[in-house]
A = this chain, B = another copy of it.
Amino acid sequence: MSTAHDTSARRDPSITAGHDGTAPRTPYLILDLAAVRARYRLLSSLVPGARIHYAVKANPAPQVIATLVRAGSCFDVASRPEIELCLSAGARAEDISYGSTVKKCSDIAFAHENGVRRFAFDSLAELHKIAEYAPGADVFGRLRSDGQGSVFPLDGKFGSPAGLVADLLVEARRLGLNPVGVSFHVGSQQLDPYAWGPSIASTAEIFDKVAAAGIRLGVINLGGGLPGTYGPEVPPLAEYGRAIDECLERAFGANRPEVMIEPGRSMVADAGTLHSEVVLVSRRDGSAGARWVYLDVGRFGGLAETEGELIHYPMRTAHDGEPSAPVVLAGPTCDSADVLYRHHPYLLPESLRAGDRVQLLCTGAYTVSYSSVGFNGFGPLTCRCVDSPDAAGA
């Protein structure tokens, strides 16, 4: 994977192909399936014995799903179309977990009829829906997490306090369901490897409380949160593995339950490169004013996660290494919200001109599926998957 400081851009023909008209029309995402496979192997060895459920929402390209089916992954889905996608890519229904706690009755019924066994809930109302439309299903109670330390905390939208989760798991049994465990989510792009600790400890307490009611839970679902490698502030994945293992050991000792993890971003982010083109470079307030660089991709064409400037994608241009200066970076639409980076200090080469290519790295997650159907007439971001044989011994 190239980094922001990689100077190989000059040797990469794709980055200088903007002017001659022969390269494909930008913007588009190139996703490297070999990188996804390598990441799957790394994530599989992170927490001993953990089952990987890829969070499909991060990048639902059929080739990604098929690649992960072949690698042995399970899946976490948020909707009926994601179930259909996984099944059509060869996944087994029993390897699919319906992790959303907000599901239409008809979608629960669809999942149940097609063999999906695992469902999550965080409220009594959802539990009743599952009991009616997926009778006898395995259910997870979702514990609230404050998401501290993450770039995108979930902020109260999902999960219940531990006491309520325990009560609902007992109620689940009464409703004829099979309570199997607890799930939570510590927030997307979590930068603190120990962030899982408090929720793991609460889960152990829920296990004990529910056991007192005669129910033996067997699964802890650690959810998502593992990071993409956007910059040097991101700890190495191995640190997450060690921290999570330590927290599990402390909370469960020799009675460690089955462990699920649901990486989405971490599985695909680093494998993607978004190819874009400069549409305009302008300075409209004299030489002391801001230099605006407008790309042909913006917040509505796939870069929705630049909202609030929380994710900083590394960039490459064919002019890297030449004198650079600050820019305001914006998308191509007439929308005022379509500004990518105004406050985060991006430096780009002063020689950058309309027609030059710009590559945004680590863009494999939460880009293609976020893009609009055609805001301002600009069509959705396309994703082209490329593959190469895995390196020997990898």
Contact = CB atoms under 8 A, between A and B. Distances in A.
Count this chain's copies in the assembly. 2
Contact of A338 (B124, B157, B330): B157
B377 A85 contact: yes
Interface in A366-381: 368-380
A102 B354 CA distance: 10
Interface stretch (A148-156, A212-220, A243-251): A148-156
A281 interface: yes
A161 interface: yes
Contacts of A372: 304, 369-373
Interface string A134-176: 0000000000100100001111111111001000000000000
Nearest to A294: B102
Given A161-B284, A370-B300, A81 B379 contact: yes
A304 B354 CA distance: 29
A81 B157 contact: no
For chain A, which range describes its interface: under 10, 10 to 19, 20 to 34, or 35 or more residues? 35 or more
A63 interface: no
A82 interface: yes
Nearest to A298: B102
B125 A57 contact: no
A376 B125 contact: no
Interface string A319-350: 00000000000101111111100000000000
Interface stretch (A29-37, A44-52, A72-80): A72-80
Interface of A: 56-57, 60, 77-82, 85, 99-105, 122-126, 129, 144, 147, 152-161, 164, 187-188, 277, 279-285, 290, 292, 294, 296, 300, 304, 307, 330, 332-339, 354-355, 368-380
8 contacts: A57-B375, A79-B377, A101-B280, A105-B355, A123-B280, A126-B280, A129-B354, A370-B372
